[in-house]
Amino acid sequence: MITQMQVKGLMFDPYNNAYIVILRDEDQSEMLPIWVGKSEASSISLAIENVAPPRPMTHDFMKAYLDAFNAKVISVVITDLNEHTYFAKVHLTYADSEYTVDSRPSDAIALALRTQAPIFASESVIRKQSSEELDQWLENLKPEDFGKLDS
């Protein structure tokens, strides 16, 4: 079973010196925070804000490459969480065939935002990340911890 998620924003985690992409389901009942690197956060931020860089970044190139071959991103699925590492798959169509490509969640999300493809998370991932440690971390967040991209 999978749940459709939306990117609700980016924030900076000063404790880990990393960025976090916040995914939420439609009902706002489930949240999936995914820690990403600075360059991935920058790419996701540009896509959220609909900013075109002067030269294509990696995810812009990926989209252009897919467009050149008339391939389409069907969806992105966050498939697993193992030892604090998330895993994802990008589902594509090309020439009447479907393909699944392994991906880092940050790359999959950045590509999904550029192609307007839906983002899903497996129920097992949502259950695994719902831990007391995460709940405690979330309780300690202050409004100023969120960036301007929170929506």
Q: Supply the range of the domain harboring residue 46.
A: 2-147
Instruction: Indicate the pTM of the whole model.
Output: 0.84
Span 55-71, pLDDT tens digits: 989 999 999 999 999 99
CATH assignment at residue 18 = 3.10.690.10
* pLDDT-wise least confident of 22-26, 80-84, 93-97, 134-138: 134-138
Are 23 and 5 a contacting pair, CB within 8 Å?
yes
pLDDT in tens, 116-144: 999 999 998 988 876 544 555 566 666 66
Could you give the angle at which helices 58-68 and 38-48 cross, rounded to 10 degrees?
A: 60
Domain count, the chain: 1
Helix axes 105-115, 38-48, angle to 10 degrees: 20
Strands 2-13 and 18-25: antiparallel
Are 62 and 43 contacting, i.e. CB atoms less than 8 angstroms apart?
Answer: no
